[in-house]
A and B are shown apart, each in its own frame.
Chain A
């Protein structure tokens, strides 16, 4: 059963008066309505160019065309700063609506695009035979009780990523909001054929959802004119419509190998993508806050790997290992989570991870979505302190 927004707000108001332990439980209890927005950064995002260790000599030594100085970065503290194109993101960060989990990766990544992407998207690194993606697994789990439910949607013009491969559930792609609009369907009497009744009932609910989505979409929002921001606008409308969606999946970087795979001429290309990312996410959060929905939404980025510390002589960087995971939402513990990887102790030329990406997943699955994470990940992972209490 989906709680209505009102129920949830009531619950969280109550939570304000309750000690933190129970608050955590309340967070999970309200998890019946929390939404996760996954943004796939295709190509391997260069973390060092997003969260810049501008005072570190190792950084300065290994980056010449890409180096950002103290004057250029948007300072977080006296050691780290955001890339100058991420002004909108910095604003969210300062407002306490964003956080960065540093040093996320996993052991023994092959650092190849299809393999590493598969690892992040199946959450079973190294298992080439694992058939489903973690999002698909969740889809199967959530629709096991009710085949008609649509807990997950893909918002991108590109084909289904591996993450969405499910055994049973069919995850829809929403290219534009009109896709979800359907004429009204009147409820019918039970017919004696339970299959027919199922189809009728599903039609009725679908048309109710359609009306809710139309109403939500009639509100104009202020989003930049980029495809990514347009996708987030659709996401915001779907969340506003309150139709039972739990996970929305978007992609930035143009599909395929991915626009973040900057082996050459990284400076301007990466800046352009970061600008699109920051602008889109900020507009998305602003839109949600207008309706008081920011506390129900968590946005999380995933990327198959980070990149090397040193430039490769072609004004770009090569495939690396650890990278930051960016989070945005109204219930986050803001700020930097985990230490910045030590650039003196590299993993084959790239920053070394200290947090397994499955720990981040486990935290999100358990504490945000209220799911049994070992069932999805195959084993238990220690969680990360992501959320405010």
Chain B
């Protein structure tokens, strides 16, 4: 099994598998069209839909308010109606990656803008994404970086940036920690505003990832983006997201993708490669649907929108509270979604959403819980 593109067979099962993993599922029309178009064209359309996605997202953005339950409701509605479901899936992926939650940020406006920034770069370039993150007040507040005074550089924040958000545990040195902390001095989030205090900034030379310079947060982003360790982490995480949550892929499988990703930093291209591959199509039912995937999948397959305000609360009870991941580690996913209590809630939710309508699968079956 390799990353080379999958060509044959291309049938209903394969198309459904693709849509389930990539797009929250598909209705009959979309499936028919996919079968006619073949895998390459279908995947291309999922990556770059013909519709005016920007206009759609602008319209949804205009509806968003500053109430967290409403933000949650609007995002779920956006997922149900969007012409670009892969973008929403990737936004949700990065939301889990950074684990920035309102319980720590306590500012609906910051949370709203954070998710919008993730959406803007979710399928774009990794350095642009990290560049946005290092200026995002929500990230500062969530990761303990509310204060970064020159006199006492915030090493806790630096550690989160390195271990959680970029290269990962064991892939950085103590020097990286101290100098990353120094790079971020002078940036604070106080009184609900993100402040850049030039006089509080440590302008001296810093050595991060073996490179020396008078680094600022933007430089940190740039340097981190190029790190092979980060590339490997992203590839592994995307493997979990799109291919399988059951087994850890070996280094041989990860390396080729990690190398090309570290070179061009193109998230969209990386995702495309993974989705086209044989490995992807050889892995059905190896993931547990997240609560959002479960609910939104049913709605998109049926072509309906449901009241999303109460749905947001219900999904929170099943373990996925949008805008509020439990910790910086995000949502672990996989078997963690399914326990004796959540299986009851998930089955009831799925059965209720399908109701009496004609649906291609049995929502009460254990198979339906998997993707």
Query: Residues of A with Cβ closer than 8 Å to B?
Result: 128-129, 131-132, 136, 143, 147-150, 153, 162, 165-170, 172-173, 179-183, 188, 193-196, 198-200, 202-203, 205-206, 209-210, 243-244
Contacts and interface: CB of A to CB of B under 8 A. Distances in A.
A150 B341 contact: yes
Nearest to A164: B326
B343 A147 contact: no
Given A132-B327, A166-B326, A196-B367, A203 B343 contact: yes
A195 B286 contact: yes
A199 B337 CA distance: 10
A131 B367 CA distance: 34
Interface string B138-150: 0000001000000
A147 B336 contact: yes
Interface string B316-345: 011100000011110010011111111111
A202 B338 contact: yes
Given A150-B339, A180-B341, A194 B317 contact: no
Contacts of B339: 143, 147-150, 169-170, 202
A129 B335 contact: no
Given A129-B144, A182-B348, A170 B342 contact: yes
Contacts of A170: 318-319, 336-337, 339, 341-342
A167 B348 CA distance: 25
Contacts of A172: 317, 341-342, 345
A135 to B, nearest CB: 13
Contacts of A182: 344, 347-348
A165 to B, nearest CB: 6
A173 B317 contact: yes
A147 B338 contact: yes
B366 interface: yes
26 contacts: A131-B326, A136-B326, A147-B336, A148-B340, A150-B341, A162-B103, A165-B326, A168-B332, A168-B336, A170-B318, A170-B337, A173-B317, A179-B344, A180-B341, A193-B286, A195-B288, A195-B335, A195-B370, A196-B367, A198-B335, A198-B338, A199-B366, A199-B370, A202-B339, A209-B340, A243-B340
B369 interface: yes
A166 B326 CA distance: 7
B344 A199 contact: no
Given A129-B144, A195-B370, A206 B335 contact: no
Contact of A131 (B245, B286, B328): B328
A204 to B, nearest CB: 9
Contacts of B245: 195
A210 B338 CA distance: 16
B336 A169 contact: yes
B156 interface: yes
Nearest to A172: B341
Central interface residue in B329, B338, B369, by most chain A CB within 10 Å: B338
Nearest to B344: A182
B139 to A, nearest CB: 14
Nearest to B145: A129
B356 to A, nearest CB: 17
A165 B327 contact: yes
B285 interface: yes
Contacts of A203: 343, 347, 366
A206 B329 contact: no
Interface of B: 103, 144, 156, 245-246, 285-288, 317-319, 326-329, 332, 335-345, 347-348, 364, 366-367, 369-370
Given A182-B344, A194-B246, A167 B332 contact: yes
Contact of B344 (A143, A165, A180): A180
Contacts of B287: 195
Contacts of A132: 326-327
Contacts of B328: 131
Nearest to A131: B327
Contact of A202 (B144, B332, B343, B345): B343
Most central of A150, A183, A202, A205 by chain B CB within 10 Å: A202
Contact of B285 (A128, A193, A206): A193
A148 B346 CA distance: 14
Candidate in B144, B317, B348 with the most chain A CB atoms within 10 angstroms:
B317
Nearest to B291: A170
Contacts of A150: 339-341
A138 B317 CA distance: 19
Nearest to A166: B326
Given A131-B327, A169-B336, 17 more contacts: A131-B329, A132-B326, A143-B339, A147-B336, A148-B338, A148-B340, A149-B339, A149-B340, A153-B341, A165-B327, A167-B326, A172-B341, A194-B246, A198-B335, A199-B288, A205-B340, A206-B343
A132 B328 CA distance: 10
A173 B316 CA distance: 10
Contacts of A129: 144, 156
Contacts of B338: 147-148, 198-199, 202
A143 B318 CA distance: 16
A196 B336 contact: no
Nearest to A159: B316
The 4 closest A-B pairs by CB, nearest first: A170-B319, A172-B341, A131-B327, A147-B335
B366 A196 contact: yes
A183 B362 CA distance: 15
Contacts of B370: 195-196, 199
A249 to B, nearest CB: 14
B107 to A, nearest CB: 14
B335 A128 contact: no
Contacts of B332: 167-168
Nearest to B156: A129
Contacts of B345: 172, 179
Given A195-B246, A195-B286, A167 B327 contact: yes
Contacts of A193: 285-286
Nearest to B336: A168
Contacts of A148: 335, 338-340, 343
B285 A195 contact: yes
Contacts of A199: 288, 338, 343, 366, 369-370
A206 B341 contact: yes
B104 to A, nearest CB: 8
A96 to B, nearest CB: 35
Contacts of A168: 332, 336
Q: Residue among B327, B344, B347 with the most chain A CB within 10 A?
A: B344
Contacts of B317: 172-173
- Which of A132, A183, A210 lies at the interface centre, i.e. has the most chain B CB atoms within 10 A of its CB? A183
Contacts of A206: 340-341, 343-344
Contacts of A153: 341
